[in-house]
């Protein structure tokens, strides 16, 4: 389903709230699952925003969303394909070809595989400057089927998790400050504090 402008604005606000992996450095099972779920929602929102910008010919903004996806998943080949087409639409064929090289390098380094036949075919079409507008429009309209469907409830979940992350970070900082004060007091009295464990 195509985004309307009000929902797109909410998604943009939501992705701005995302500050990176939830409680990075924590490895409890509940934290790992919530971290992955939150990141998947974030990537799904970015993908939806790419699709919102493309038919409005806001290719540069769509590219920025795609590059943010790449920061979290360099091997998301579908996004590489979309970026190649977007650069081509902007008239930057050289950057479209370089995007293919980045795709090939990421897949080789992280997975030990080559780009798919469809990605290579797209590369050859761009190289030959033979990618027509109807094909571009059809391809860019599609969204990544591996991503979750974005709903308004996801925005609420993201907001709650972001608030939780901020609260726990504040709590951790407060505990660290209290520990430092105790250590200073012990040092002042000549006592040796016991080695403390890292909180995260």
pTM comes to: 0.66
Q: Give residue 22's pLDDT band: very low, low, confident or very high (50, 70, 90).
A: low
In a domain, 43, yes or no: yes
Q: Over the stretch 81-98, which tens digit does the pLDDT of each residue have?
A: 999 999 999 999 999 999
In a domain, 195, yes or no: no
Count up the domains in the chain and report the number: 1
Residue 44 contacts residue 147 (beta carbons within 8 Å): yes
In a domain, 174, yes or no: yes
The position carrying tokens 């429009």 is 137
Q: Does residue 126 have a pLDDT over 80? A: yes
CATH of the domain at 135: 1.25.40.10
Q: How far apart are CA 197 and CA 200, in angstroms?
A: 9
In a domain, 193, yes or no: no
Q: Which domain holds residue 56?
A: 5-188
Q: Over the stretch 144-181, which tens digit does the pLDDT of each residue have?
A: 444 445 555 555 656 665 665 666 667 667 777 777 77
Instruction: Look over the chain and give the mean of its residue pLDDT values, rounded to a whole number.
Output: 77
In a domain, 197, yes or no: no
pLDDT at 148: 47
Q: Over the stretch 47-88, which tens digit does the pLDDT of each residue have?
A: 889 988 888 889 999 999 999 999 989 999 999 999 999 999
In a domain, 152, yes or no: yes
In a domain, 196, yes or no: no
Tell me the C-alpha to C-alpha distance, in Å, between residue 178 and each of 173, 183, 199.
9, 9, 13
Q: For residues 17 and 182, which has the higher predicted lDDT (pLDDT)? A: 182
In a domain, 163, yes or no: yes
Residue (of 199, 154, 161) closest to 34 by Cα position: 161
């Amino acid at each position: 389903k195509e985004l309307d402008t009000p929902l797109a604005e909410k998604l943009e606000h939501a992705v701005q709230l995302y500050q990176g992996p939830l409680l990075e450095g924590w490895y409890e099972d509940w934290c790992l699952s919530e971290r992955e779920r939150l990141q998947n929602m974030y990537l799904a929102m970015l993908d939806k925003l790419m699709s919102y910008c493309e038919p409005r010919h806001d290719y540069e903004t769509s590219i920025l969303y795609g590059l943010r996806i790449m920061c979290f998943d360099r091997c998301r080949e579908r996004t590489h394909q979309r970026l190649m087409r977007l650069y081509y639409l902007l008239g930057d064929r050289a950057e479209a070809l370089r995007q293919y090289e980045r795709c090939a390098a990421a897949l080789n380094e992280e997975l030990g595989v080559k780009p798919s036949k469809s990605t290579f075919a797209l590369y050859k079409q761009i190289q030959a400057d033979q990618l027509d507008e109807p094909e571009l429009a059809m391809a860019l309209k599609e969204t990544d089927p591996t991503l979750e469907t974005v709903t308004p409830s996801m925005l609420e979940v993201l907001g709650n998790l972001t608030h939780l992350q901020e609260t726990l970070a504040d709590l951790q900082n407060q505990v660290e400050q209290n520990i430092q004060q105790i250590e200073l007091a012990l040092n002042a009295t000549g006592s040796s504090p016991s080695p403390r464990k890292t909180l995260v």
